[in-house]
Chain A
Amino acid sequence: MNIAVVLKQVPDLVEGLEIDASGKAVDPSSVRYILSESDDHALEEALVTKERLGGRIEVYSLDTGEAKEALVTALAKGADHAVVVDAGLESAPDNHTAAGIFASIFREKRFDLILTGVRAIDDLDGSLGGLIAGFLDLPYVGLIRKVQVEAGATSIIVEKEYPGGCAAELAVTPPAVLGIQAAEQPPRYVPITRLRQMMKTATVEELLVPPVSLQPIGLARLFKPEEGTGAVMLAGSLEQLSQQVTGLIAERHLLR
């Protein structure tokens, strides 16, 4: 089973993000990047599948947002080959653009499965997996929580959950693109010694693809959610807050 996993680094939300002066982007000095959570699960699902059936995993990422760290971490976890794709982009593009780039690569290099996280927190548009599948005319299933591949079988079974307490298994014939919501087990830990060793020794293939000039979806404005007029924000110490709350209850006759 040859699997490609598409990885994306997204802004880490542990510190608040600042919007830059243009009002259309996050201030790069306030950002550090981490691997998109569902991409981490996509990689884990690929690793589990490889452990079961053998095969090869290649990981791909666009050359934006400290991509190399994510790729090297994937190698340290057990991926076989890592490719950073340089399409002349300065920042992460919308998913239509990214999917076009990846589809042009995967059209040449054939994989049985292309796995990616079902969504990223900074997606501008539709799911990357679905868009790649569209460009390549391949089947796509998203929101997957388990991939079952049996040796010799012509189709694979993917499991997803529907609202209302219902889960389903779907049969998909590879080659296919899968959007992973959660791996069947938590993403594995990679000891830092191995990671640091990898940082020094790993080779990441640099793949140049023609620069993309057009970004079909442009960001018009980025802003902090505006507070509604109906809300009153209380502030102060716990004591002051409780006084304000009891004051409001009395003043507005909320308790009868």
Chain B
Amino acid sequence: MGMLQTPSIPQKPAVLFPEIARAEGNFRTCIQCGVCSASCPMSESMDFTPRKAVRMLLEGRFDDVVSSNTPWLCVSCHTCSTRCPSQLLISDGLFPALRAAVMETGKQLDQDLQTALHKTYLYGNPMGEGPNKRTDWAKTSSVPVPVLSQIRRPVDVLWIVECYPSFDPRGQAISRLLARILTLLHVDFAILGREERCVGDCEWLAGERGLFEMLIERNIETLGKYHFKEVLMTDPHAYRSLRNVYPSMGGRYVVKHYTEFLRERLDQLKPLLKKKLNVTVTYHDSCCLGRKMAQYEDPRILLNAIPGVKLMEMTPNRESALCCGGGGSTIYLDHFIQERVKDRLADRRVRQAAATGAGILAVACPFEPSRFEDGIKMTGNEGKLVVREIIELLAESMELV
């Protein structure tokens, strides 16, 4: 009994999330090969490795697993699920179910995580900012950033800015640059402004399916009011969610991450990339854009299009890239995790980046600038390595900064 009831707890979510539906009941096919544990960058700090946890659950030792640190150390890098020879969904099936089970038991959650979830429930963003502040970043934009509810006309592109790029100061600056790039490319775009809410991804990976469902329902209702041809996303987590999960709830859109969107406009973009940067760059594949969505080339194509960029590959890269350690809500569990791991993933990844000899660590995910900037300080790489969003590098070559 044990696990097969519990990790597949949800009846509704099984319908909602095709990924979980596929995972349901499958864990009996686990061959205990241990590829998950060997692939997991966090397993050495877990009370029970993923393989062991599966075995224990099959033996009915459910309480031991949910009360261990194992459910909360998964950073949702999805390497286990990508590599599992039995195609079991571990990081995106088993772990969210375990976390949901912990929540159901009424145990005290980590306070930072609880705060982020509660604020997302109240305000639609984990920082707890008021919805009216969603457009604050655009107030100092040098180009118009139209809001759909105000312009009242169909647009080509709805840009879902998402939480970090709306509220985090560095994210806001990057958003202003993207607005300028879109304007220079003559893209007819608009944002949702105060109507925008978190698209959701961290929430369900954190075990908060109810919150995720609530966000999805609300967002589908909001998006249903407007006419647009495609959706542009800056955050790979939200991008994956809107593209892979929303359709099963009735939200079907043409969704593109900005790297794909800009790569499609490369011919238009190239003549604008005037300034030679003369830099060596290494690119970090974010887990959602990489492993989950298999989009490895567009970011590299954009970087290679910038004059004077020499791209060096990190080891490991692409499917095997190491996570920044902030996925699946663990960005809110930093303190919890830091006390339990010897070497933070962001620090390890920064060392891998530094080992290439590159001066710039390029990223395409709004979580990463702050995580890797911290990593650079922690590993003593200040002055040797800086983190740049691909948007920032493009803007620099376009002489926008």
Residues of A within 8 A of B (CB): 12, 14-15, 34, 78, 185-186, 188-189, 191-196
Asked whether B343 is an interface residue with its Cβ less than 8 Å from the other chain, the reply is no
A19 to B163, CA, bound (A): 29
Which one, B114, B123, B128, B209, contacts A189 given CB within 8 A?
B114
Nearest Cβ in chain B — how far from A169, in angstroms? 24
Asked whether B348 is an interface residue with its Cβ less than 8 Å from the other chain, the reply is no
A15 to B133, CA, bound (A): 8
Contact A189 B109 (CB under 8 A): yes
Contact A188 B128 (CB under 8 A): no
Dominant SS among interface residues on chain A: loop
Q: Mask for B43-78, Cβ within 8 A of A = 1, else 0?
A: 000000000000000000000000000000000000
Residues of B within 8 A of A196 (CB): 210, 213-214
Contact A15 B130 (CB under 8 A): yes
Contact B100 A191 (CB under 8 A): yes
The total of interchain contacts (Cβ-Cβ below 8 angstroms) comes to 47
Contact A189 B122 (CB under 8 A): no
Dominant SS among interface residues on chain B: helix
Residues of A within 8 A of B106 (CB): 78, 188
A189 to B111, CA, bound (A): 9
Contact A191 B208 (CB under 8 A): yes
Listed by A's residue number, 11 A-B pairs whose Cβ atoms lie within 8 Å are: A14-B123, A15-B132, A185-B108, A189-B103, A191-B103, A192-B208, A192-B209, A192-B211, A194-B210, A195-B210, A196-B210
Residues of B within 8 A of A189 (CB): 103, 108-109, 114, 117-118
Q: Using a CB-CB cutoff of 8 Å, which residues 72-121 of chain B contact chain A?
A: 100, 103-104, 106, 108-109, 111, 114, 117-118, 121
Nearest Cβ in chain A — how far from B211, in angstroms? 4
Interface residue total, chain B, C-beta cutoff 8 A: 26
Query: Which A residue sits closest to B12, measured CB to CB?
Result: A193
Contact B210 A192 (CB under 8 A): yes
Query: Which A residue sits closest to B212, measured CB to CB?
Result: A192
A188 to B118, CA, bound (A): 10
Interface centre among A14, A186, A191 (most CB of B within 10 A): A191
A3 to B397, CA, bound (A): 66
Known: A15-B132, A34-B122. A191 touches B104 (CB 8 A): yes
Nearest Cβ in chain B — how far from A117, in angstroms? 17
Residues of A within 8 A of B128 (CB): 14
Known: A14-B122, A189-B117, A192-B210. 13 other contacts (CB 8 A): A14-B123, A15-B130, A15-B131, A15-B132, A34-B122, A78-B106, A185-B108, A189-B118, A191-B210, A192-B121, A192-B208, A192-B214, A196-B214
Q: Mask for B216-227, Cβ within 8 A of A = 1, else 0?
A: 000000000000
Query: Which A residue sits closest to B9, measured CB to CB?
Result: A193
A192 to B210, CA, bound (A): 5
Residues of A within 8 A of B123 (CB): 14
Contact A14 B108 (CB under 8 A): no
A188 to B123, CA, bound (A): 19
Contact B208 A188 (CB under 8 A): no
Residues of B within 8 A of A34 (CB): 122
Query: Which A residue sits closest to B132, measured CB to CB?
Result: A15
Known: A14-B128, A14-B129, A34-B122. A193 touches B108 (CB 8 A): no
A42 to B131, CA, bound (A): 29
Interface centre among A14, A78, A189, A194 (most CB of B within 10 A): A189
Contact A14 B130 (CB under 8 A): yes
Q: Mask for B182-219, Cβ within 8 A of A = 1, else 0?
A: 00000000000000000000000001111101100000
